Structure 1
Amino acid sequence: MTPPLSLALIRRFDLFAQAPDETLQALLLHAQVRRLAAGEALFQQAETATHFFLLLGGTLKVVKTTPQGEQVVVRFVRPGDLLGIARLLNRPDYPATASAIEDSLALAWPCGAWERMLALHPRLAGQALQTVGQRLQGAHTRIEELATEEVEQRVAHTLLRLVAQSGQPQEDGRIAIGFPITRQDIAEMTGTTLHTVSRLLSAWQERGIVENGRKRVAVRDQAALQRLASGAERRQPQ
């Protein structure tokens, strides 16, 4: 049996930092703890949306499969993020699959509890709107990049966004992406091939811009990566 969550664990997220103890206890009353091993799905694309979630620890990868069977990495979910809010937008199913890429911990609430939770903690509405807005902006940005940028720029922009989302400064000056990520993930985020991503990362590693290994990427020269993203340097052929 999973032990009860401490209120301190919830309070470390801005959404709940100022909530009184009694409010947090009421919010947790109908919550379930979901522990996910790496590779395990929290929910599947097209599955009926029965719950919404708050990620407490770990990292999830959200992947959408197109009608042609191609996989697109939509985003990575980090602790403090809401997800699975399809029913709150009047959608009956989950539009994509969310899977753990490392051992993760999430809170799950039934979709029917949303109105009660809003009454207890109105800040949830603002957080949900912010989440939807960020996803729409992210989708718009990726569509614009696919339409207007060369592959080198798209990959550079993606690495910069990942560093902004979860960068972990290292003692030697590198900024490591704070979760496991593969070259295939980057390819699926940027609309290109594994071969192209591998070629670019290898070339950038030789130039001292990035360092990459198995499921790990770190940025050594962020300014150079920004120049690549802007197209200021010589562009690589697609």
Structure 2
Amino acid sequence: MTSVDPSVIADVPLFAGLSRAEHEDMLRDAKAIRVAKGRPVFAQGEAAHSFFVLVHGHLRVMKLTPDGQQVVVRFVVPGEIFGVACAIGCKTYPATASAVIDSVVLVWPSAVWPELIARWPALASRAMHAIGGRLQEAHTRVVEMSTRQVEQRVAHALLRLVQQAGRKLDKGVEIAFPITRQDVAEMTGTTLHTVSRILSAWEERGLVEGGRQRIVVREPHQLFILAESSPGASA
């Protein structure tokens, strides 16, 4: 019997359609680990020894470019598979994943990946679908960097985060994990000063509400209009 309670993956889309017995079998080689806020799950360039599913918390995935700049690649939300370098033939992790808040992840050795997808082909299909979605998002962001002005890029970034991890409030949608203006800057290829100026202007207009590591999008529709049509500001 696995030491990880099968109920922890019962609602994870990656494992949808499996019986409790299959969940137990799936978890046979897994272990659950706690990752304290600010600590890495794995580091860029480290040997890809494992793959993971986030059970609780939120993670920030960051990449250090050859010229030393930090880029926020994406955020990981509960239920997502990540660090699946073994599935795409990579020997090392291409980025660093760190906990935004105290988090819990399930860990499998990369060596068991071929066995798992052989026994449950749907697992491979869902994992590839998830990876494909991330590649498409990366492509979209590259296009935005070259064709959109900075105000539009910031609006697109906030809308993606709201879609990924939005929590509805009486008025607006809160990004449901701690996020800083520096994070937004590193997601959009601009500076902290520029992001602060843009968000402060949007706060005055009632489009967003900010706080310490907190962003609420008060008017998502207006932000969408900005993202698609605003002449914006320059970085």
CA displacement at 1:92 relative to structure 2: 0.7
Residue 17 of structure 2 aligns with which residue? 18
Residue 142 of structure 1 aligns with which residue? 141
In 2, the alpha carbon distance for the partners of 1:33 and 1:102 equals: 16
Aligned with 2:190 (options 188, 192, 216): 192
Residue 89 of structure 2 aligns with which residue? 90
Q: Secondary structure at the match of 1:87?
A: helix
Q: Secondary structure at the match of 1:68?
A: coil
State, as a whole percentage, how many aligned pairs show the same letter.
49
The answer to whether the 8 A contact 1:208-1:220 is kept is yes
CA displacement at 1:17 relative to structure 2: 3.1
In 2, the alpha carbon distance for the partners of 1:50 and 1:236 equals: 43
In 2, the alpha carbon distance for the partners of 1:15 and 1:89 equals: 17
Aligned with 2:219 (options 218, 221, 224): 221
String of CA shifts for 1:97-132, please: whole Å, max 9, x gaps: 000000111111011101221133222111121122
The answer to whether the 8 A contact 1:27-1:120 is kept is no
In 1, the alpha carbon distance for the partners of 2:232 and 2:124 equals: 43
The answer to whether the 8 A contact 1:11-1:18 is kept is no
TM-score of the superposed pair, with normalisation by structure 1: 0.95
In 1, the alpha carbon distance for the partners of 2:164 and 2:226 equals: 19
The answer to whether the 8 A contact 2:208-2:215 is kept is yes
Runs of 4 or more off by more than 6 Å in structure 1? Answer: none
In 2, the alpha carbon distance for the partners of 1:195 and 1:187 equals: 9
CA displacement at 1:5 relative to structure 2: 3.0
What is the one-letter code of the residue matched to 1:225? L
The answer to whether the 8 A contact 2:44-2:93 is kept is yes
Residue 102 of structure 2 aligns with which residue? 103
* Residues paired across the two proteins, number: 234
| Gap runs ≥5 in structure 1 | none
Establish whether residue 177 from structure 1 lines up as the match of residue 175 from structure 2.
yes
In 1, the alpha carbon distance for the partners of 2:52 and 2:176 equals: 21
Q: Secondary structure at the match of 1:61?
A: strand
Higher mean C-alpha displacement, 46-55 vs 120-129: 120-129
The answer to whether the 8 A contact 1:58-1:103 is kept is yes
TM-score of the superposed pair, with normalisation by structure 2: 0.96
In 1, the alpha carbon distance for the partners of 2:65 and 2:231 equals: 33
CA displacement at 1:8 relative to structure 2: 2.0
Establish whether residue 66 from structure 1 lines up as the match of residue 51 from structure 2.
no
Residue 233 of structure 2 aligns with which residue? 236
In 1, the alpha carbon distance for the partners of 2:82 and 2:197 equals: 34
What is the one-letter code of the residue matched to 1:42? V
What is the one-letter code of the residue matched to 1:193? T
In 1, the alpha carbon distance for the partners of 2:232 and 2:119 equals: 53
In 2, the alpha carbon distance for the partners of 1:67 and 1:143 equals: 17
